[in-house]
Amino acid sequence: MNKRSLFAVAVVAFVLTASVSWAVEPYLARGNWYFSGKGTGTVAGSSETITATITGTAVVISTGEAGDEWITNFSERSTWRLSSTNGYSNTYTLSENIPMSYHNTDNRYVFSDSGLTWDCTILDENTATMTCKGTTVIDGYRATVNIKYNASRNATPDIPDTPSPSSSGGDSGGGCSVGAFSPLLGLLLVPLVLLRR
């Protein structure tokens, strides 16, 4: 294998390893989220479709760190503005407080409560999408809903303290090193340096 081919192989190996090392780790769900969404619903006993516009705040409480986070509580308070083509219009407030033990390892979590199923996907540190589907009771009426939300965080998510090497008990396996130079990348640079001589 000539120098040029060896150099090309080393570059490809470096790029592939760099892409793995800099892969996006799971994000923390904990914190305050503001959300807004739109969807449709039907009320029991009526064939009419109702349009809903929702705004609210969700609070996620958790322990652990990104990639190994345990969500212990999800609460939300939202305002639902309902309207229909025949002139129906009303505003309701919905509150949920859901204790749970959910292991968030991949930026997505799904849970159910009071007939509603929430499906949340965290896109990055400060944005997420949610859907809410199911049947619940709003102001005494049984309603079936299908809502899509966009959510944003009002601040940087809480980051757990990283233990120092001396206080770390045991070695940490797996995961990607984001924001730090990997020793493996340094080793891959050696052939590049030698080939340039």
Q: Does 13 or 77 have the greater pLDDT score?
A: 77
Same domain, 101 and 4: no
Same domain, 54 and 128: yes
Q: Report the distance separating Cα 108 and Cα 119, nearest Å.
A: 7
pLDDT digits (tens, 9 = 90+) for 42-68: 877 777 888 989 999 999 999 998 888
Q: Average the pLDDT over each of 74-78, 123-127, 186-190 and give the range with the smallest value.
A: 186-190
Domain total for the chain?
Answer: 2
Half-sphere exposure at residue 60, Cβ-oriented, CA atoms within 13 angstroms: 29
Contacts of 131 (CB under 8 A, 6+ apart): 118, 119, 146, 147, 148, 149
Same domain, 87 and 116: yes
Q: Do 107 and 115 meet the contact criterion of CB atoms below 8 Å apart? A: no
The predicted pLDDT at position 62 comes to: 93
Whether 35 has a pLDDT exceeding 90, the answer reads yes
The predicted pLDDT at position 193 comes to: 41
Same domain, 14 and 33: no
Q: Do 36 and 149 meet the contact criterion of CB atoms below 8 Å apart? A: yes
Q: Chain-wide mean pLDDT for the chain?
A: 73
The per-residue b/e assignment along 166-180, b for 16 or more CB within 10 angstroms, e otherwise, is eeeeeeeeeeeeeee
Same domain, 12 and 35: no
pLDDT band at 39 (very low <50, low <70, confident <90, very high): very high
Same domain, 13 and 76: no
Same domain, 64 and 150: yes
pLDDT band at 171 (very low <50, low <70, confident <90, very high): very low
Domain range for residue 180?
1-18+174-191
Q: Report the distance separating Cα 113 and Cα 140, nearest Å.
A: 17
Report field, pTM of the whole predicted structure over 0.75: no
166 belongs to a structural domain: no
The predicted pLDDT at position 163 comes to: 43
pLDDT band at 134 (very low <50, low <70, confident <90, very high): very high
The predicted pLDDT at position 20 comes to: 42
Residue 187's Cβ-count burial label (10 Å; 0-12, 13-18, 19+) is: exposed
Q: Do 124 and 15 meet the contact criterion of CB atoms below 8 Å apart? A: no
Q: Which run of H or of E encompasses 13?
A: helix 3-21
Query: Whose structure tokens read 């809410």?
Result: 132
